[in-house]
Amino acid sequence: MLKINRLKIIITTAQKKFGFDEKFDEGLNFISSYENTKGKSSIIESIYYCLGIEELIGGRNDKILKSVFRSKIEFNDIEYVPLDCKFYLEIENSKKKVVTINRNTSKISIQDSKLITVYEGNIDESISGKSSFEEYYTNLPGSATQERGFHVFLENFLDWKLPEIPTYDEVERKLYMQVVFASMFIEQKRGWSDILIGIPNIFKIKDPKKRVVEFLLGLDTIEVEKKKAYIKKMEEEINFKWKNLYEDIIEEMKESNCNSNDIYLKPKILLDNYVENLNIQVEENEEYIDINEKINRLNDEITTLKQTKPRVGMINDKIQIELEENKEKLNSLELVLIKENEKENAEKFGLNKLNKILENINLDLNNNKDAKKIMELGSIKNTSIGKKVCPLCNSKIEDSLLLSQKNYNTMSIEENIEHLKQQKKLIEYAIDNRKLNINNYSDNKTKIKSEIIKLRRIIRSQINDLYEKDDSLSETSIYTKVDLQNQMEELELLKEKYFSYKRKFYDLSEKLKSVLNEKEKLPKDKFTEQDKEKISKFEQCFKEKIKKYGYKSENASNIQISMDKLIPTIDGFDMRFDNSGSDNIRAIWAYTISLLIVSRDMSGNHPNILIIDEPMQQSVIEEDLFSFIEDLNRISKGMQVIIGMTLGNEKLKEKINEYKNVNIILLKDKAIKPID
């Protein structure tokens, strides 16, 4: 709750002091006068200024203050120049804590109008120096977020937690005080032109009216939207990390001529025993065998070589046979490499041709689209030429550079564009296939080159063996043993990497499971059941009030509160478009009071205060105004309503004087007058 207890203004001139000092009660308060220009709006705007929400008036800092506070005071036909003006606003919250806000404007002081002092105590204690105080700033970066920002103090004082909301800058910012107070403080100049029209647009908040209503009614929509955005971000992050892991492990296995059917391209929920399962197959003689079986075979071969320690003489014939076989393999691989290279070059050549064709198609497509635009939008649009008919002979003009021949069925521009689009799709598909083939040939070449290098090493060692003494250890056997050991170590390392990757996949799977569980808890649309109940009661209350206040425009039975923007609509359209000027005022009354009532009754965040300047607008019927004021008086227990109003006729005077337990601040003279 926010309650204003007292406003005191002290203006110093060279000759004397002027000021204003009045108390405000709980319930209904009137700042009234029998004539205009007595200073009602000046007093209300002073409250805005003290709360640091002067953007509701249309500006910032002391420049928005009326001339009586800054440049000229007229009293008894004499003009006085204000030199220093001090504003003291005593406020109270729901915990009965009382503080005094002091904000000044001065020609003689170095104190800037952005500085606000907050005293712990009432106005009298503050002015007499009996209260401790803290200084804050406003209208500077950090005013709503930093410890010394005044609106951070005010947010804590009201026991609010203003949400972070999206802006047109694609960042999230706090729902500023100035935006929220626009729903409960209606100023005279432009506040009556539309519902929540006073919201400042300088903060670049997306859907500010909707955000204010969501906050005041205590809807869960902001948090739901945030959770949905967070879940979407987490899903994207999981997809990205999963894809990278998949590509990395597939590349690792490809280098070792291995594969696995236990690695998944897209994220999924994995079983608890997923990590422990080893599922890798290794290519051997154009077949795939289990990786452990392959490791065992390699190990057996190494053991045999260690035990026999073959000498050249013992395996000379075998070396000779294997050498010939390896030479044949080498020749065969080199031929395959040449063919793969030729295929790759052919694909690249084809790709270049396709790219040129695509370039021409895009050029033709753009030219045809431009021609279509010219035909549709040119200055001859409605002439016979625009209709493809010669204005002289009435013959059909074909979309072709060829001479007209009756046996030619040329395509129209629209048909040509569609034809080119289809051609483009086919060429793009062919380009993608070419690129895929090039990558495959490149991978094959890499594998073949690796095999060629290995074979050449073996052949060199075998040739060396043939020229060694019979009792020399076989170099080929040594090389073979080293190669087998390297293969085995690579496979063991691949197993370690495989398990490491599976652990990472499993961790991502657990995150995905958690994200999906959170997603399942969210409402299917953006509203919880409690939100829907609040909006329904808000709509019901609004319709009751607007009818009570004499709403006369058509289609009143079709009034709804839009679930999308949370503003009143008729047949799906903003209701102001169907409203008369006076009905628009009634709608603002009904919306403002309904927002307060539903927030109060359903544990919302409304601070239970309304400040309304001159609600009698657009020649609205007085009886309807009285219905509105009676409603305000009836609900004002435990809250505060301050109305600035000119009592321009006897009927208004009599009606206001009839109210009991109402605080009437009657400005018989001007609000700002001399003080001792």
Quick: pLDDT tens for 32-52.
988 888 889 999 999 999 999
Rounded Cα distance, 645 and 640, in Å:
16
pTM: 0.67
For the sheet containing 185-186, what is the strand order? 185-186, 609-613, 640-646, 27-33, 663-666
CA distance 220 to 223: 5
Q: What is the pLDDT of residue 663?
A: 92
Give the containing element (helix H, strand E) for 650.
helix 650-658
Question: What is the model's pLDDT at position 465?
Answer: 56
Instruction: Report the side by side order of strands in the sheet with 568-570.
Output: 559-561, 568-570, 573-574
> Which residue stretches of 378-404 are H helix?
none
Q: What is the structure's pLDDT at 479?
A: 65
Q: Where are the alpha helices (DSSP H) in 397-549?
A: 413-466, 475-521, 529-548
Please enumerate in sequence order all residues whose Cβ is within 8 A of that of 651, keeping only pairs 6 or more positions apart, or say none: 622
Do strands 640-646 and 609-613 pair parallel, antiparallel, or not at all (unpaired)?
A: parallel
Angle between helices 475-521 and 221-255 (to 10 degrees): 170
pLDDT at 473: 47
Q: With a cut of 70, list the residues of the chain below it in pLDDT.
A: 305-319, 374-410, 461-482, 554-556
Q: Is 176 helix (H, G, I), strand (E, B) or coil?
A: coil
Going by C-beta distance under 8 Å and a sequence separation of 6 or more, which residues neighbour residue 331? Answer: none
Residue 502: other Cβ atoms inside 10 A = 23
User: Residue 154: what pLDDT?
Assistant: 95
CB 252 within 8 A of CB 562: no
Phi, psi (5° rounding) for residue 642?
-120, 120
Do the Cβ atoms of 154 and 195 come closer than 8 Å? Answer: no
Percent of the chain with pLDDT over 70: 88
Ordered structural domains, the chain, with CATH: 270-382+413-491 (1.10.287)
The whole-angstrom separation of Cα 383 and Cα 391 is 8
The pLDDT score that the predictor gives to residue 151 is 94
